[in-house]
Every structure is written in C-alpha cells, then in structure tokens.
Amino acid sequence: MTRRIPAQTSVELSVRPDAPKRWALWAVLVTYAVAMCGTTMPTALYPTLQDQFGLSTAASTQLFAIYAVTVLLVLCAFGSLSDALGRKPVMMLGLGASLSSGVLYSLADDAPMLFTARVLSGICAGLVTGTATAYLTDLVGSPSRGAGISSIANMIGLGSGPVLAAWLTYAVPSLPMIAFTTHAVVSGMCLLLLGFGPESVPVRRLRLYPSLPLVPRRSLRNFAIGGLMTLGFAVMGGCTAMTSILVVRSFGISDLRILGLIGSLIFAATAIGQKLGGSLIRRHALLGYAGLATGAALICVAPLLPGNAAVVIYLAGLTAAGLSHGALFPVGLGIVLQDIELGQRGSASSAFWVLGYALTAAGALGLGWVGQFLGEAQAVSWFGLAVVLSAACCAALHLKLSAAFGR
C-alpha cells in the first residue's frame, strides 16, 4: 500500500559527516522522553483530582483536552520556529515550560491553577514534539530512522507518566503532588544537559512571530497519505482522558498502582507496535487500520459486559488499538518527512503533529461531553463505534490515494 521509505536522501548524506557525537543523540532522546512524561502524569490521578478539586467528568476530560488544544495552537503558531531559531533553543524553551508546569502543579490549591499548569504542559509539548522529531532526524541523517526513534521516545515518555505519578503518589500519600515536583527537578536537569548539546541546523534569522507549519507543495501527496495514519491519536486522546475515570467509576478499581499501569498500557502497546510493526505496515498499511478498528470494537463492547469480563475486554481493546496505532503513525511520519529538506523538517514534522493533536483533543473533548450526559460507560461505547467507522473510511481513502498517486 505504501512504498518503502528510502533510508537516506542526498541532502542527508551531505550533512552526515558533520553529525554530532553519539551522546548528543541520547541527550535529545532522554530530554524528549522526560518532556512527554510530564504531559501524561495526571492520567492516573484524574479520579483523585476530581475528588480533591471538585471536578466533574466533563471538567476532568477538559483538563486533558486543554493540554491537547494548547499543543495544537503552539504547533500552528510556532511549528516552524526551530527551522529559523535552531533546534536547541526551542527545545530549551519547551523544557522551561515543563519545569514551570511541574512547579505550578505542586503549588495548586484550586482548579484554575490546575488548568494553568496543564496549559504550560501543552506549551512544552507543542514546542518540543515537532522540534525533537526534526532534531533527531537531523542527528541520524535518515527520515525513517528519525521518525522511528523519535516516536519511540515519545511513547516511552508518555507511557512512563501515569506509572510514575501513580506509584510516587501511592508511596508518599502525604505529598499528593510529589510526582510533579519530581518531574520539575528532572526537567531542570535535562535543561542543563541540553545546554551542552550541539545545534543541528544553521540559524537563518531570528523569527519569533507566529508562522503556520507548512509542507512544501511537492510533498502534499505524501502528507495526505501519511496524515491518514494519525487516526489512532483520537483513541489515545479519548482513552487517556477517560480510562482512569471509567476504571474507578464503572469497573470499581481504585488502587493507584493498578490505575498507573492501566493508564500506561496503551502507550506501552504503542511503543511495542512501533518497534515490531513498522516494516509490516510499510508493505500492508490496511492491516494497521484493521487492527485499530478491532481495538476500538473491543473498547466499544467492554462497558456493556458484566464484571471482570468488561475489564479484560477493555484492556484487550487498549492493547490492540495501541499496537496498531504504534505501527501506523511512525510510518506516516516517515512518509511525510522522506522528501523534506533539512531547513523545512521542523515545519513539516510539526504539521504532522498538528493532525495528531487535533485528533487527540477531539477524542478527549468528545468523550467528556458525551460522558457528561450519558455516563462514562455509554460514552466509551459510542466512542469506540465512531473509531471503527472512521478506521474503515481512512482505509478506503488510503487505498484511493495510493492508487491515484501510484504508491
């Protein structure tokens, strides 16, 4: 369905002799993972935050969604900033926002402070996500490999957030925001680490005004096909915002340690899918859409079942959706970046992530609003059905575009 992505282009070969030391690559990977870890820390704590701050189900999902909306706005406004200002300064700005978010979470005593901290977390992700993808692609000199390792770092960071937050909160119950304090400290350490790293692109001009992330016209065909592979982000957004609430309110599980593990499940499955499924999806993209539809169908059915069967089926759905999403979206990202020149990678990768976070926000907001009226269980069932239908439509459109563009 999609042709193999070439390992290198002539542009990449020309910059490879100037590639920085291996430690710089690991510094960016660790920094990226740490930044993304902070964005999912509230996932397992939503029921606790509901009780502590008096939040409704809709407000809890909005707390997640405002993060995704902020990421979307930052990507739209400053997605190409690193192409002009440099990768390292933008990464450092993002880490500064992450540190500030952790401090504000630690000091929060009302809902507005929580939402402000969440906005800062979104600013971090908006600045770091596209920039780190471009930075890592610059360092390794290959769009496919850069997309692969950046997406793995992304998912490892996202997946570690719920576990870290839940287990630290369980271990130190007297300090309910201990996880955010810890993350602020680690973000500060990463900020110092990144300060010693090299820059991977020449700085052309200082441009701080908003600039939409754009894709060159010659690459729009690749962007259309790769963009279809972001559908799984809707599942990620919806399930990240609702899973812990559903598990506590409908399934009766309240142990923080278990909530942390369940909250991380879809991210862990996504990371595994990236590692194991990429080569298969490059040859047979429809399998990815089929797997995503299967996972969504299980998620749809789970709340309708009694007792432990509901939990087992729901977790199976999260796993199947995560594996499929993990196999799909790095391939899509690689397709988008394969013909992009060095000075345009930050913009193009940000444009891809704009699609992803738009779907993330839509999934979270949709589930929250429907859940407010119908309850968490019914909202999840309708959400799963919507994803099944969307996966079928994306698969059909993928076939049509591939045939039209001769892929």
> 245 by DSSP, 3-state: which?
helix
How far is the C-alpha of 281 from the C-alpha of 262, rounded, in Å? 26
Q: What is the predicted pLDDT for the residue at 357?
A: 82
Query: Which stretch of DSSP H or E encloses residue 16?
Result: none
Name the one residue in this structure whose structure tokens are 């999912």.
40
Any domain includes 148? yes
> 110 by DSSP, 3-state: which?
coil
How far is the C-alpha of 281 from the C-alpha of 105, rounded, in Å? 40
Q: What is the predicted pLDDT for the residue at 155?
A: 82
Any domain includes 245? yes
Written as tens digits, the pLDDT of the chain (407 aa) is 444 434 333 333 333 434 445 778 888 899 999 999 998 888 888 788 878 888 777 777 778 778 888 988 888 777 677 777 888 888 999 999 999 999 999 998 888 899 999 999 999 998 998 888 888 888 887 777 877 788 788 888 988 988 899 899 989 988 888 999 999 999 999 999 888 877 777 765 555 555 566 677 777 788 888 889 999 999 988 888 788 878 887 888 888 888 888 888 888 898 888 878 777 888 888 999 999 999 999 999 999 998 889 899 999 999 999 999 989 988 888 888 877 776 677 778 778 888 888 898 888 888 878 877 788 888 899 999 999 999 999 999 999 888 776 55
Any domain includes 385? yes
Any domain includes 2? no
Any domain includes 28? yes
Report which of 200, 269, 197 is spatially closest to residue 30, judged by C-alpha positions: 197
Tokens of 146: 């850069």
**Exposed / middle / buried, residue 290 (Cβ in 10 Å: 0-12, 13-18, 19+):** middle
How far is the C-alpha of 335 from the C-alpha of 12, rounded, in Å? 15
Any domain includes 19? yes
Q: What is the predicted pLDDT for the residue at 109?
A: 85
User: Domain residues for 16?
Assistant: 10-405
Predicted TM-score (pTM) of the model is: 0.74
Any domain includes 154? yes
- Considering Cα of 390, then 396, then 398, then 404, what sign does the dihedral take? negative
Report which of 150, 132, 120 is spatially closest to residue 90, judged by C-alpha positions: 132
Any domain includes 175? yes
DSSP 335-361: HHHTT--GGGHHHHHHHHHHHHHHHHH
Domain CATH number, residue 296:
1.20.1250.20
Task: Indicate the number of domains in the chain.
Answer: 1
Q: What is the predicted pLDDT for the residue at 92?
A: 92
Q: What is the predicted pLDDT for the residue at 342?
A: 67
Phi and psi torsions of 261, nearest 5°: -65, -40
Phi and psi torsions of 109, nearest 5°: -130, 5
